[in-house]
Amino acid sequence: MSEVSQSSEGALTGFKVLDLSRVLAGPWCGMLLGDMGAEVVKVESPKSGDDTRAWGPPFLEGESSYYLGCNRNKRGITIDFSQPEGKDLLATLIPHFDVVLENFKNGTLEKWGFNQAWFEKNAPRVVRCSITGYGTQGPLSQLPGYDFILQAESGLMSICGEEQGVPSKYGVAIVDIATGMMAANVIQGALLARYRTGLGQHVEVALYDTSIALLANVGSSHLATGKDARRFGNGHPTIVPYTTFNAADKLIALAIGNDGQFAKLAEILGHPEWASNEKYQTNTARIGNREEVDTMVGLELKKIHSSELIPLLRKNGIPVGPVNTVAEALATEHTLARQMILKHQHPSIGELKTLGTPLKMHQTPTAVRYPPPRLGEHTQEVLSEYLDEKRIEELRLRKVIA
């Protein structure tokens, strides 16, 4: 477990992001940018804040763990956009930022007066990133996006779950998280393009598009053959054996990636003849005999305790690992060595543990500079950088900010 501290400059130090998003995809994007050093200001409604503040239990001193898990490295302010002065304040802030990140319903910013023409006139260098459910074109473009619905609609659920069971969603909001990652990528691309053009641009990432892209090799196989995909449980559509098996004491995952690995596995399990049998010799042949291969391998694996089996297979270059619970995974020595659990001080919670960042940059390291902000925690601090004290007090009296 690692203590966080102020670090040297990150890769995005000097860039300023106005994060108008809420729930997961947008906040995840903002958090990634913040991890890399960007100065991220999260804007919320003074009445209720980000929806995820209410998504619990669990709560820590009134803060939901869901919200805490996707909003570090941000300063938080509140603005009531239902009031004209709230929109005026937004117009004042936008030109001071490099990026505006939003996931409002399509047309919301335009309805408020912030169309492309406004950006070109008033904030020509700003990159505006819109995260939408279904994009800005197409028959579903006006629908809101929900991760669970997108997992179902895209076909992702149809390839998850037991072979003879019902389609199953992923255990976390994978479409939201992947969309946030895509958004962070496209924002950085637009910022790089700005060095050449001198101008920002409007970029768009849709949950629908991301969910279709996540079909990856499965979608590619359908396009190549015209055949629909199906579920394989924990198995792989084009590699065998590649699934979970019971060792003597617990479930393990085994991933045989090539014929050489299969031959080595056969030798270790005391059946070198498998590798020369034409029914099992090649991956293509093993796919044709999937059930038989999985059964014979499984019978041998369950004779060996995982504490002996896993080191033995790894020593021989065979990909294998235990099927851990979340608690087990977060307690492993390697998780701690990779600094994937961080602890830092939160003003109301005290010591707060969060998952670490997977972004490891050796010359411009990532760091946690701010814990997830309380609602409106930095409103005074941030607005003081752009407005005089009299104007801030006026806005507070009129409940435009809190």
Which pairing describes strands 251-255 and 320-322: parallel, antiparallel, or unpaired?
antiparallel
CA distance 19 to 94: 11
Residue 303 CA to residue 315 CA, distance in Å, equals 19
Structure tokens, 219: 């979608």
> Which residues of 210-261 form beta strands (DSSP E)?
242-246, 251-255
In whole angstroms, give the CA distance from residue 99 to residue 102.
10
CB contact at 8 A, 62 and 39: no
Residues 118, 123, 129, 132, Cα dihedral to 10°: -20
Q: State the pairing for strand pair 350-355/341-346.
A: antiparallel
- Residue 38, amino acid: A
Nearest to 199 by CA among 116, 132, 92, 131: 116
Sign (positive/negative) of CA torsion 104, 106, 109, 111?
A: negative
CA dihedral angle for residue 16, residue 18, residue 23, residue 25, rounded to 10 degrees:
-50
Q: Name the residue type at position 210.
A: T
The pair of three-digit structure tokens given for residue 211, joined into one six-digit string: 């969910």
Residue 55 phi, psi dihedral angles, 5° rounding: -90, 90
- Please name every residue paired with 64 in a beta bridge, in sequence order, or none if there are none: 59
Q: Is position 50 annotated as part of the catalytic site?
A: no
Catalytic residue, chosen from 19, 176, 209, 294, is 176
Q: How many CB atoms lie within 10 A of CB 55?
A: 14
As annotated, the active-site residues are 176
